[in-house]
Amino acid sequence: MRQPLFAAFTALALFAAPASAQNAAPAADPAIAQAVAAPTRTAANIARDRYRHPAETLAFYGVKPGQTVVELWPGGGWYTEILAPLVKDGTLYAAAPWERGLNGVKTLQAANPAVYGKIKLVAFPATEGAPAVPDGSADVVLTFRNVHNWRFGGVDAAQSNFDAVFKMLKPGGTFGVVDHRLPEGMDSALEEDSGYMKESSIIAFAEKAGFRLVGRSEINANPKDTHDHPEGVWTLPPSYRLKDVDRAKYQAVGESDRMTLKFEKPRG
C-alpha cells in the first residue's frame, strides 16, 4: 500500500549537528502531489513509493514548478518520471556520464516526447566537447543513491563531483542528497564495499566543497535495516543479489535505510 502523500516526519540527527540543520519540512506544494500521481509513471516505479517517499522528499528539498533542477545520474529515470512534469515550466537537466549514463532518460524521451522531450541531457562529470550545466544556473541539484558510486566506483570522484555541484548552483541553491546510510557507530571499512556510507562522510565532502548543512530528515529511514548483509545493500530489494536465498527475510526488511540531507550554497 502506498503511504499517504506528505506524511509528517521527524528531522533527527544521528550525531551532533548545528541546530539550524535540524529544521522542519516546509509545506508541500500541491504540484508535487500532482507530479507523483502523473499517469505517465510506470507501475513498477509507483510500487516503490512506499520506500522512496518521493512527495515528502521533494517537499523537503523545496522543489517547485518553474525552477531549474538538475538530476544527477538518473539511471532508469525513477525520479525523472516525477521531476519532468513537476518542473515542465522550468528547466530539468539530466546529468550523467556522457553518453551511456543517459540511456534511461533517452528511452523515456523516445517513448513520450511530450512529457520528457524538454529534458536537457548534459555530461556529469564534465566531458570535453559535451554539454554541461552552466555555472550558477541551478536552483536545486538532486542525487539519489549515487555518492557511494562516486566514492568507490573504481576512481574516487566524490570530492570533485561535490565541487562541480557547488559551481552549478546559484547562491542560496539547494543540493539534496539521498544515500544508503551506515550508522556512525559501525566500522567505517564497511563503506568500502557495502554500498552504505556514513552521514559524516558525505557531510565532510559537502562542507569541503563550500556547502552548509541546513537540513536532515528521517523520511527515508528504515529501522528494520541492520546494515550488515552478506552482499551489502544489494542483498535487499529491489536487487535481491542472493536471489531466492532468504528472499522472504529481506523482503520483510524492505529497501535500505537512507539518509536524506539538505545542503545550501551560501549566499555571501
List, for residues 8-56, the tens digit of each pLDDT value.
333 333 333 443 445 555 556 899 999 999 999 999 999 999 999 999 9
Q: How many residues does the chain have?
A: 268
pLDDT at 118: 98
Residue 9 lies in a domain: no
pLDDT classification of 86: cutoffs 50, 70, 90:
very high
Residue 12 lies in a domain: no
What values do phi and psi take at 260, rounded to 5? -135, 105
Domain housing 194: 19-264
Q: Return the CATH number at 214.
A: 3.40.50.150
Residue 4 lies in a domain: no
Looking from the CA of 110 toward its CB, the CA atoms found within 13 Å total 6
Domain count, the chain: 1
Residue 5 lies in a domain: no
Q: CA-to-CA distance for 188 and 198, rounded, in angstroms?
A: 8
Residue 83 lies in a domain: yes
Task: Kindly report the number of other CB atoms within 10 A of residue 253's CB atom.
Answer: 18
Residue 67 lies in a domain: yes
Residue 13 lies in a domain: no
Residue 1 lies in a domain: no
Mean pLDDT rounded to a whole number for the chain: 91
